[in-house]
Amino acid sequence: MKKSLLGIVSACLLAGVVQAEEPVKVKPSAPERYTVSKGDTLWGIAGRYLEDPWRWPEIWEANKQVYNPHLIFPGDVLLLCQIKDKAVLVVDQGGGCAEATARIAGGGGLPETTQMADGTVKLHPKMRELPMSLAIPAIPLKDIQRYLNDSRVVTREALERAPYVIGSTDARVVAGAGDIIYVRDKNALLQPEGSYGVYRGGLTYVDPDTNEILGFEAEDIGAGSLSDLRSEVGTMKVTRTTQEIRVGDKLLENQSGPVAPIFHPSNPEGVKPGKILRVFGSIGSATQFSVIAVNRGTQDGVKPGHTFALYRRGELISDRVSQEDIRLPSERTGLAMVFRAFDRVSYALILNSTKVVKVGDEIRPPISAD
């Protein structure tokens, strides 16, 4: 199925810092031509070209003539061109940088014809359409797959109002795939023959600075389809489980479809610094390719693709001269990219780290001069 993708912000300038006007730094080793291969990630390609990969949108020239202008596919040939004294990266349509220059001058669309150097005229197709599923992902899928569609962060109200499991056949306490369970829908949220996920309330996310409750981790337990719904009680066949379903587990509506990790690395312009709330799969420390939860979400302006610098708060030491306690400067420890954003919490993947990253460490928009 073909899907269109909304345009991504074309430039992500840093807000409120003097480095914002600094030109994007292209690596001296950046290739003039690069053929995209299966297994590539957008972050990896951006790292080939830029000292600061999160500034990718500043050099990427999306071709408005293609169906999904911001996606890159295996087999695409990328060209690094100098156009109006600016480094620009484009997909080669066969005419090289000359064609790209004409395309940009014409508003970004591919011209119908291009005059080649040998005098021949090259014709161009009007539209290129490819499935979004073929596009290269922004970050490694293997490291985030389980977090894309399973567990989610929800509000207290959503959990409290959700239908819940009241039992299963033969009065068993637990149920698995293939079993029949019974659910109670006190708030009339279920639809006959609807499909629903089964969740269990997990970690409570609390803002470390304000002590506000930001949300609740709803842990994916399984899924199923309603076969009958009468008054407040429904009958549901369990189609899959990640662990045994218990009495009290909640039903939430299945999300509309897979969360596609197709986005561009970008600066979180205008997003306030925050903190790491959780390291998945660990008591509290993380390294490269660990998944973390942070206390900034869509309400704060966070979007998938936003890249944050990670900082360890400086130690508190005693100034022996003045006999005062002094806080040392924070130390940058790595970079993380958001791949899934909820209202007030987001999931991010640590892309690189120089030291162990811990719960409570700071996240900030990256600064090129760091």
Question: What DSSP assignment string belongs to 84-146?
Answer: TTEEEEEE--SSHHHHHHHHHHTTSSPPSEEE-TTS-EEE--S-B---GGGSPPSS-HHHHHH
pLDDT digits over 165-185, tens only?
A: 999 988 788 999 999 999 999
pLDDT digits over 231-248, tens only?
A: 899 999 999 999 999 999
What are 84's two structure tokens? 């109006």
Whether residue 126 contacts residue 134, with contact meaning beta carbons closer than 8 Å, is answered with no
Question: Once rounded to an integer, what is the mean pLDDT over residues 289-317?
Answer: 94
The residue among 108 and 310 whose pLDDT is bigger is 310
Whether pLDDT at 18 is above 80: no
- Give the other-Cβ count within 10 Å of 227's Cβ: 12
Q: What pLDDT, on the 0 to 100 scale, is given for residue 256? A: 53
What type of residue is 238? V
What are 177's two structure tokens? 């795939």
Least reliable range by pLDDT among 21-35, 118-132, 141-155 = 118-132
Whether residue 243 contacts residue 252, with contact meaning beta carbons closer than 8 Å, is answered with no
Least reliable range by pLDDT among 114-118, 235-239, 241-245, 343-347 = 114-118
The residue among 129 and 232 whose pLDDT is bigger is 232
Whether pLDDT at 20 is above 90: no
Find the Cα–Cα–Cα–Cα dihedral 103, 9, 22, 338, rounded to 10°.
Answer: -130
The highest-confidence range among 98-102, 227-231, 347-351, 365-369, by mean pLDDT, is: 347-351
Q: What pLDDT, on the 0 to 100 scale, is given for residue 5? A: 29
Question: Once rounded to an integer, what is the mean pLDDT over residues 63-72?
Answer: 64
Q: What pLDDT, on the 0 to 100 scale, is given for residue 120? A: 61
Question: Once rounded to an integer, what is the mean pLDDT over residues 25-53?
Answer: 95
* CA 13 to chain centroid: 19
Q: What pLDDT, on the 0 to 100 scale, is given for residue 158? A: 93
The residue among 295 and 22 whose pLDDT is bigger is 295
Whether pLDDT at 135 is above 90: no
Question: Once rounded to an integer, what is the mean pLDDT over residues 210-216?
Answer: 96
Q: What pLDDT, on the 0 to 100 scale, is given for residue 299? A: 96
Least reliable range by pLDDT among 46-55, 64-73, 211-220, 261-270 = 64-73
CA distance 312 to 292: 15
Whether pLDDT at 111 is above 60: no
Whether pLDDT at 359 is above 50: yes
Whether residue 175 contacts residue 244, with contact meaning beta carbons closer than 8 Å, is answered with yes
Question: Once rounded to an integer, what is the mean pLDDT over residues 290-296?
Answer: 97
Whether pLDDT at 342 is above 60: yes
Q: What pLDDT, on the 0 to 100 scale, is given for residue 221? A: 94
Q: What pLDDT, on the 0 to 100 scale, is given for residue 103? A: 79
Whether pLDDT at 3 is above 60: no
CA distance 132 to 136: 9
The residue among 323 and 297 whose pLDDT is bigger is 297
CA distance 110 to 167: 61
The per-residue DSSP string of 170-216 comes to GG-SEE-TT-EEEEE-TT----TT-EEEEEEEEEEEE-TTT--EEEE
Q: What pLDDT, on the 0 to 100 scale, is given for residue 134? A: 76
Band of pLDDT at residue 74, cut at 50, 70 and 90: very high
Q: What angle do CA 222, 223, 226 make, to 5 degrees?
A: 145
Band of pLDDT at residue 78, cut at 50, 70 and 90: very high
Is the Cα torsion angle 66, 72, 75, 79 positive or negative in sign? positive
Q: What pLDDT, on the 0 to 100 scale, is given for residue 168? A: 92
CA distance 59 to 190: 48
Q: In Å, how far are 128, 167, 241, 248 from 172, measured between CA atoms?
A: 55, 7, 16, 13
Question: Once rounded to an integer, what is the mean pLDDT over residues 257-261?
Answer: 62
pLDDT digits over 214-225, tens only?
A: 999 999 999 999
Q: What pLDDT, on the 0 to 100 scale, is given for residue 264? A: 87
Strand partners for 253: 196
Whether pLDDT at 33 is above 90: yes
Q: In Å, how far are 72, 105, 118, 212 from 263, measured between CA atoms?
A: 10, 26, 39, 30
Question: Once rounded to an integer, what is the mean pLDDT over residues 130-154?
Answer: 82
Q: Which domains does the chain have, with CATH numbers?
A: 18-143 (no CATH), 150-253 (2.40.10), 274-364 (2.40.10.410)
Whether pLDDT at 8 is above 70: no
* CA 104 to chain centroid: 29
